[in-house]
Structure 1
Amino acid sequence: DRRLGTTGETATRAGQSPAAASGNAKADTSPAAGRDARWTLREGLWRVTNDKGLKGCGRSAIAGGVGVVINGNVAHMTGLVTCGKIHLCPVCAAKIRAARSEEIDTVTGAWQAAGHGLAMMTLTLRHYRRMPLGTTRRGERSGLVAVQHDAWITAFGSRAGKMWQRLQADHGVIGYVRVWECTQGENGWHPHFHVLLFLKQPWTRDRADAFEAAARGRWLRSVEKAGGYRPNDRGLKVDVPRPEDAQQFSRYLFKNQDGKARFERWAPGGELARADLKQGRDGSRMPFEVAAGAAAGLAEDVPLWHEYEYGAYGIRAQYWSNGLRALLAGLVELDDRTDDEIAAEEVGGEGLALIPAETWYRAVIRYRGRPLELLKAAELGGAWAVRGLVESWGLIWGRDVLDAPQPPA
């Protein structure tokens, strides 16, 4: 038994349900199943995380109590702390990345409609199992993420110099959006950048190849200068959309399976922003797949998750080049909310119950699975189902749990 704790659950790889892991049942791909998986994973991470924000996310009441709300056929909770940790929290990450993905698809659609072009540049490192993920924290800068970010600064960032400016001008690169992503596999951690290039005009493949060759030389030299192993020729690649994909940018073109995704076509929003929906390939795992193992108590995954938590600290999930957002604001309305604001935004609806903070801590959050049970009851039968559930826990309606406050007339 490789579990560290006795959770009463079967420890499965990559967060699969026992049925899915055994191949006896097809995974539920409904939105409700995705929500349930994220809430369950976050609850499991409360027990193993070293991050204070994640430990309190969806657990700590903000003020007097927690509300159970129904909007259409989807239930929500109000009055709970959110951490806004896009790299660490499966619940906050889903909200934040959905908003960022929608914005990317909106701006890329408008950019192409105006006659401009797009390309995707991917930057990777050579890495081996013994190499630590490291950190970019001040005074502790080390490991793969430090090499990655230092190489970026020299090749394409603030210390890139006039040659990089000239390369952009020669190829009509107006700006870029850079997104950080990380996987883990047999060869250890694999941090990499996806960089969406905004072009004055669409590129031919020959034009893309010319830019790729020049940019690759810069990246290879910069990685070595930063202390990393010299990448091979696949360390930098540039992709351009196929002609038949040109009008597909504003759609989510992936299939969601058990909280993960397989991209059917090249969609910038999903490829850049929806790392929470991706599934590792060729034996690699996405961070939330490692998190699922850690939450289940797998001995090898707990330290991996702690290493990832420490290494992801302070890393921007998404970075826009100077002046690009101001330029795009002339084409579309941009989403200027912070990650924290997106994560904390509450969806309105009909209030079904109010759980005072004392009851929340004493009788709900201390029992594993109860918050999610409340949501499911609300979706199944509204206020009466919620009342029946809380009374089955031995609570008294009207004292321990209250009717939801009515909006003013």
Structure 2
Amino acid sequence: MELPKSGAPLGIVTKTSSTLTGQGLQPELESVYDVSTGEIKPVEAVRDNGIFVSKYKYSYDAKNARSKRFSLKSVVNDLMPGSRTSKCMRFRAPDSINGGLRPIEILKSSEHGKAFYQGLYACGSVWTCPVCAAKIAERRRIELKEALESAKKKGLKAHFITLTIPHGVGDDIEDLLAKLRLATKKMSSGRNAVKSRFQSIFESTGESEAATIGFIRALEVTHGKNGYHPHYHIILFTNDSINTSIVQYVYSKAWKKACLDSGLPSPSEDHGCLVKDGSYASDYISKWGIEDEMTKANTKITKLKGKSPWGLLDAVLQGNDPDYSPERAKSLFLVYSKAFSGQRQLYWSNGLRAALHISKEENDEVIVSKPDDVRSYLLAQIPFEQWKLVLKFKQEANLLSIAESNVVALQLFLKNLSLSNDEESRKLSSDEEVLRE
């Protein structure tokens, strides 16, 4: 079995690989950077008499995506060597029961056939760790889907809201985030609170029920020609009689006032507050899991040159983006990681989980510490000396792919890894002898 040279990209990922793969002939894939929302959306390039017609299409290859996540994480390891993320999925986790450190194991899901590691430290960062972010996002997606289904059963209405602010290249992202947090607080409390505005309108029609049930707010960011673009997506749950036009009226006024009171520029009339019906909430939730950010990071053509944080890491990895050189992408990612450290990615309003019968929230660290699937069985235990070779040859993702295919091949692969290292060591020793002569 031939092994990649030390220092090569992880697994089987190459500069031309992409998570946007599937079976058979594939359509041309492009992507569109939406200036109004900051979203980077992969599309299928459907051509009608030579004219490009965009059509949303999310195709997904789990093994390629996993390899890509480990590849992107290797960039973070180099960029932030002293960070928790650099230690994630590399160091052994403490053994809280027996003391010392846990053994490194490869387990396989009985239901899905997916292999995963157990016994490794996980940082739990949704902002800087592509590996942990994928696991956390998938768990959050399931909860979002459950919330939408529960609301539908209760006869509630869901509205999808996007809130943005004008921004420029010279803006300080940390300052923007601080003011955005203040703006969201102003929208949730006091006389101008959104909930109070809705209730006043609702009661004026003679209704006595609660107008709004609660909301889920997600913080996202992209980088484009005008710098960092932080923005919010909100799923608002209301009484069935509240329509989209009422939500647009209330939120656009409340958002504008909150921004001005927080020291932010006045939101754009056209793009500052966009409200769509529940079908858009369903679409947003369906792409919020592991496919989403990895797909965004691997788009090959990005009109208007927008990048997600993972896209910045990919620019470092590929090294051929004319707008994001490796050095520029590194610098932008470091600024982003510092600004978003400690930020809350997803927020549920008080009482919403209980109202929709969704289980109590688990923090990110708890989610990543759990097995990928409790219905799993042990395939192999990897001695630490062998694990160091896996890291040396950057085979974390490839090892899992082999484990999913054949456990005998897994053992053979680990054996060949050791043999390859011995040969490399002998060659180094031989070279040293030549130098001495």
1:85 matched to 2:85: no
Matched, 1:121 2:161: yes
Asked if the contact 2:8/2:394 (under 8 Å) is kept, the reply is: no
1:211 aligns with 2:247: yes
1:51: Cα distance to partner?
Answer: 6.4
Residue 284 (str. 1) matches residue 306 (str. 2): yes
Q: Which SS does the other structure have where 1:308 is aligned?
A: helix
Deviation at 1:379, TM superposition (A): 2.2
In structure 2, how many angstroms separate the alpha carbons of the residues matched to 1:228 and 1:364? Answer: 49
Say whether the 8 Å CA contact 2:130–2:310 is kept in structure 1.
yes
Residue 41 (str. 1) matches residue 69 (str. 2): no
* Corresponding residue to 2:15 among 7, 13, 17: 17
Please tell me whether the aligned partners of residues 183 and 191 of structure 1 are also in contact (alpha carbons under 8 angstroms). Answer: yes
| Alpha-carbon distance in structure 2 between the residues aligned to 1:20 and 1:341 | 30
Rate the CA distance shift 1:203–1:282 in 2: closer, same or farther, 3 A.
farther
- The 1:7–1:184 alpha-carbon spacing in structure 2 relative to 1, beyond 3 Å, is farther
Point out the structure with max Rg over C-alpha: 2
Assess, with a 3 A threshold, how the Cα gap between structure 1 residues 64 and 112 changes in structure 2: closer, same or farther: closer
Partner of 1:261: none
How far has the Cα of 1:282 moved from its partner?
A: 4.1
**Structure 1 letter corresponding to 2:272:** G
The aligned residue for residue 213 of structure 2 is 174
CA contact (8 A) 1:97 1:276 kept: no
Query: Is 1:222 matched with 2:246?
Result: no
Residue 184 (structure 1) shift = 0.7
> 1:45, 1:294 within 8 Å by CA — same for their partners in 2?
no
Unaligned runs of 5+ in 2: 1-5, 30-58, 94-100, 203-210, 297-301, 320-325, 421-437
Q: Which residue is 1:306 aligned to?
A: 334
Identify the residue that residue 3 of structure 1 maps to in structure 2.
Answer: none
Distance verdict in 2 for CA 1:281–1:177, change over 3 Å: farther
Give matches, 1:2-401, under 5 Å: 17-18=15-16, 29-49=60-80, 52-62=83-93, 63-72=101-110, 73-134=113-174, 143-154=175-186, 156-158=187-189, 160-161=190-191, 164-169=194-199, 170-171=201-202, 172-204=211-243, 208-233=244-269, 234-241=271-278, 266-270=282-286, 276-277=293-294, 279=296, 282-296=304-318, 298-329=326-357, 333-334=358-359, 336-346=361-371, 347-348=373-374, 349-361=376-388, 363-365=389-391, 367-382=392-407, 384-394=408-418
- Partner Cα distance (2:182, 2:240) in 1: 30
Structure 2 vs 1, CA of residues 163 and 103 (structure 1 numbering), >3 Å: closer, same or farther? closer
Alpha-carbon distance in structure 2 between the residues aligned to 1:165 and 1:107: 19
Q: CA deviation at 1:85?
A: 0.7
Deviations 1:228-253 (A, max 9, x none): 222211211211135xx8xxx7xxxx
Amino acid at match of 1:267: D
Query: What TM-score do you get using the length of structure 2 for normalisation?
Result: 0.71
| TM-score of the superposed pair, with normalisation by structure 1 | 0.76
* C-alpha separation in 2, matches of 1:120 and 1:278: 22
CA RMSD of aligned residues (A): 3.0
SS of aligned partner of 2:327: coil
Cα separation, partners in 2 of 1:278 and 1:64, compared to 1, 3 Å: closer
Q: 2 CA distance for matches of 1:7 and 1:374?
A: 16
User: What amino acid is the match of 1:392?
Assistant: N
Cα 1:122/1:219, change in 2 over 3 Å: same
Task: List structure 1 runs of 4+ shifted beyond 4 angstroms.
Answer: 6-9, 25-28, 271-275
1: CA distance between counterparts of 2:402 and 2:195? 58
- Which residue type is aligned with residue 414 of structure 2? V
1 CA distance for matches of 2:212 and 2:68?
40
Report the alpha carbon displacement of residue 335 of structure 1 after superposing the two structures with TM: 5.4
Q: Percent identity?
A: 23
Given that 1:47 and 1:295 are in contact with CA atoms closer than 8 Å, whether structure 2 keeps it comes out as: no
Count of equivalent residues = 345
8 Å CA contact 2:171–2:227 kept in 1: the answer is yes
The letter of the residue matching 1:389 is: F
Question: Partner residue of 1:263?
Answer: none
Give the unaligned 5+ runs of structure 1: 1-5, 10-14, 135-142, 250-265, 397-409
1:39 is displaced (CA, Å) by 1.8
Shift of 1:215: 2.3
Structure 1 contact 176–320 (Cα < 8 Å) conserved: yes
Name the CA distance, whole Å, in 2 between partners of 1:199 and 1:223: 24
1:103 Cα deviation from its structure 2 partner? 1.0
1:217-269, CA deviations, whole angstroms, 9 ceiling, x for partnerless residues? Answer: 22222222322222211211211135xx8xxx7xxxxxxxxxxxxxxxx4352
Answer yes or no: is the 8 Å Cα contact 2:124–2:365 preserved in 1: yes
Q: 1:107-163: per-residue Cα shift (whole Å, max 9, x none)?
A: 2112112211110121101001121211xxxxxxxx221121122222x124x4355
Contact 1:126 1:231 in 2 (8 A): yes
| Structure 1 residue 289: Cα displacement | 0.8
- Specify the code of the residue in structure 2 equivalent to 1:238: V
